[in-house]
């Protein structure tokens, strides 16, 4: 709790310093949030390489926003970073739509784990429950997955998420509740089912590594 | 699998982090972009800048501004009332503020009986000066009120002193463990500066104890002095009343210091 408050206060100060285009503050913001933004993008694109490239793009875009002094539309550092990250991922899919890549933000398409790299997979491999949750997360509706990742993995508050996705805190709570319910259902199905396809695919990848 | 368990598992996914080599390389790229190939400026933003920015941010928040205005109004109003009330006379609109202030001061020392008595005597002195002022104006109603307050305050001090004396005597009885005279039997006729006292030490009788004593400085108790002060007040000898109140206060002080 205290740690969270300290982090919030530090973020607020960084954001204020960004408003006066402080370069050192931007570097600090990068250091503090690059892992979170990377993770947020990773769960959207499901590819380490793409996530890395997009994370770089996000921070360069943020710097250009800072330099242009266009921070008035943002309330916090997190809302700035996550909003730019979201838009960057959307742009990425718009540009690469014709390349026939798997779009995880498309609700009608199933999500296949095709480009997972050891770092994430190794973490998941160590824990069977975590593996199940990871698979369920990949099968969630993108709208739910995005909010679940922001709230439970990156520890954004409901209010912060509401600012990023431009919805009310009440709506965000509903999405979180439904997301959790969907994960529970998916994990229960997996427990009952002999071996789902996504799990087999994941195991095959792990064997290959 | 419940929500809490799912949340715990999801939290574990925060272990997914970018490759360390990539992070290191990327940091250089970002720095190059941000500093535009130049060295970082030596004039870094210091704590004063941070403080100034925080203030500026805080005073842009409506809630903070409203709270600050309220605090200024309340504190400012309170301070003004206190300052004005300190010199308010009976009949003034701020006289009530003064009385509240006096009660607040008494509350502040409610756990220190000696201090409370001294403060009450100071308040009584204040009533005497007010009485002197009201007497010259000839306001009977105010004079009656002030007189009542003065007597009430002095009476409270006397009651407290009487209670304290009774309590001290009771403690002495408990400490000796036997029934004995609460007041030592002092023989004032001893010419050699000694006194005799019944200690009630054993069943066989009274044990005489003699001890050289220094000639007492005060011949009156604080209660007696206060009674004199009340009489002087009734006789409208206000200056002498204040002197008596001061003497009683000094005596209480010396007793407290002796303890």
Ordered by start, the domain boundaries in chain A are 1-101, 107-209
pLDDT at B135: 78
Q: Does B40 touch chain A (CB under 8 A)?
A: yes
Q: Which residues of A touch B22 (CB under 8 A)?
A: 52
Instruction: Give the pTM.
Output: 0.51
Please, are residues A62 and A81 in contact by the beta-carbon 8 Å criterion? yes
pLDDT at B163: 86
Q: Does B20 touch chain A (CB under 8 A)?
A: no
pLDDT digits (tens, 9 = 90+) for A134-147: 888 989 999 999 99
Q: Which residues of A touch B27 (CB under 8 A)?
A: 27, 30-31
CB contact under 8 A, B13 and A148: no
Angle of helix B238-258 versus helix B113-137 axis, rounded to 10: 180
Q: How far is CA B258 from CA B9, B164, B254, B255, in A?
A: 70, 15, 6, 5
pLDDT at A1: 53
- Which residues of chain A from 84 to 113 reach within 8 Å of chain B, CB to CB? none
Q: Does B41 touch chain A (CB under 8 A)?
A: yes
In order of start, what are the domains of chain B with their CATH numbers?
111-182+217-258 (1.20.120)
- Candidates B2, B6, B11, B47: best to mutate against A (most CBs of A within 10 A) is B6
The fold of the A1-101 domain, in CATH, is Rna Polymerase Sigma Factor; Chain: A (1.10.1740)
Q: Choose among A44, A18, A50: nearest CA to A32.
A: A18
Which of these ranges, A82-91, A158-167, B49-58, has the smallest mean pLDDT? B49-58
Alpha-carbon span B15 to A206, nearest angstrom: 18
Three-state SS for A207?
helix
CB contact under 8 A, B5 and A188: no
Please, are residues B207 and B101 in contact by the beta-carbon 8 Å criterion? no
CB contact under 8 A, A39 and B17: yes
Q: How far is CA A135 from CA A126, B8, B165, B184, B191, in A?
A: 14, 15, 83, 93, 107
Nearest Cα residue in chain B from A124: B13
Architecture of domain A107-209: Orthogonal Bundle (1.10)
For residue A169, pLDDT over 80 is answered with yes
pLDDT at A148: 95
pLDDT digits (tens, 9 = 90+) for B210-252: 555 555 555 788 888 999 999 999 988 888 888 888 888 888 8
Q: Does A39 touch chain B (CB under 8 A)?
A: yes
Give the residue ranges of chain B where pLDDT is below 50: 42-43, 179-191, 193-196, 198, 200
Q: Does B45 touch chain A (CB under 8 A)?
A: yes
% chain A with pLDDT above 90 = 47
Q: Does A56 touch chain B (CB under 8 A)?
A: yes
Angle at B25 between CA B19 and CA B27, to 5 degrees: 100
CB contact under 8 A, B14 and A127: no
Q: Does B54 touch chain A (CB under 8 A)?
A: yes
pLDDT at B259: 66
CB contact under 8 A, B6 and A130: no
Please, are residues A125 and A131 in contact by the beta-carbon 8 Å criterion? yes
Q: Choose among A195, A197, A205, A86: nearest CA to A139.
A: A197
Partner residue opposite A180 with nearest CB, options B6, B13, B16: B6
Angle of helix B222-234 versus helix B140-176 axis, rounded to 10: 170
What is the DSSP-derived secondary structure letter of residue B92?
S
ipTM of this complex prediction, to 2 decimal places: 0.74
DSSP helix, strand, coil percent of chain B (3-state; round to 5):
70, 5, 25
CA-only gyration radius of chain B, Å: 36
Please, are residues B221 and B209 in contact by the beta-carbon 8 Å criterion? no
Q: How far is CA A115 from CA A40, A118, A149, A204, in A?
A: 16, 10, 19, 12
Q: Does A6 touch chain B (CB under 8 A)?
A: no
Q: Kindly report the nearest CA distance between residue A140 and chain B, in angstroms.
A: 13
């Amino acid at each position: 709790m205290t740690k969270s408050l300290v982090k919030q206060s530090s973020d607020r100060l960084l954001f204020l310093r960004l408003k006066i285009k402080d370069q050192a503050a931007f570097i600090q913001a990068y250091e503090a949030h690059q892992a979170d933004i990377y993770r947020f993008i990773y769960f959207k694109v499901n590819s380490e390489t793409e996530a890395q490239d997009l994370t770089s793009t996000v921070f360069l875009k943020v710097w250009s926003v800072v330099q242009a002094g266009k921070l008035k539309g943002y309330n916090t550092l997190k809302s700035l970073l996550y909003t730019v990250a979201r838009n960057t991922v959307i742009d990425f899919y718009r540009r690469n739509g014709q390349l026939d890549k798997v779009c995880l933000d498309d609700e009608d398409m199933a999500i296949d784990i095709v480009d997972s790299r050891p770092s994430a997979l190794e973490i998941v491999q160590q824990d069977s429950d975590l593996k199940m949750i990871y698979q369920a997360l990949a099968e969630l509706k993108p709208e739910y997955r995005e909010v679940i990742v922001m709230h439970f993995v990156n520890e954004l508050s409901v209010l912060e998420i509401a600012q990023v996705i431009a919805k009310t805190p009440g709506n965000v709570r509903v999405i979180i509740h439904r997301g959790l319910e969907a994960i529970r259902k998916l994990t229960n199905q997996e427990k009952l089912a002999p071996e789902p396809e996504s799990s087999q695919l994941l195991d095959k990848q792990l064997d290959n590594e | 699998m419940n929500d809490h368990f799912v949340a715990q598992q999801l939290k574990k996914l925060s272990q997914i982090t970018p490759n360390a080599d990539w992070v290191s390389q990327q940091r250089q790229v970002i720095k190059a972009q941000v500093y535009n190939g130049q060295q970082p400026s030596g004039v870094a933003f210091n704590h004063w800048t941070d403080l100034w920015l925080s203030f500026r941010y805080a005073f842009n928040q409506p809630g903070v501004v409203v709270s600050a205005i309220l605090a200024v109004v309340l504190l400012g109003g309170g301070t003004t009332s206190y300052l004005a009330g300190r010199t308010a006379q009976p009949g003034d609109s701020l006289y009530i503020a003064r009385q509240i202030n006096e009660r607040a001061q008494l509350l502040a020392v409610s756990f220190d009986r000696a201090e409370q008595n001294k403060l009450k005597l100071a308040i009584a002195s204040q009533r005497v000066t007010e009485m002197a002022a009201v007497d010259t104006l000839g306001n009977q109603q105010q004079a009656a009120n002030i007189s009542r307050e003065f007597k009430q305050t002095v009476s409270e001090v006397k009651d407290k002193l009487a209670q304290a004396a009774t309590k001290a005597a009771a403690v002495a009885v408990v400490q000796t463990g036997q029934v004995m005279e609460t007041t030592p039997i002092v023989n004032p006729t001893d010419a050699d500066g000694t006194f005799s006292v019944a200690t009630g030490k054993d069943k066989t009788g009274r044990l005489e104890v003699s001890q050289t004593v220094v000639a007492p400085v005060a011949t009156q108790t604080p209660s007696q002095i206060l009674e004199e002060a009340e009489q002087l007040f009734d006789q409208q000898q206000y200056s002498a009343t204040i002197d008596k109140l001061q003497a009683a206060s000094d005596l209480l002080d010396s007793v407290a210091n002796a303890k």
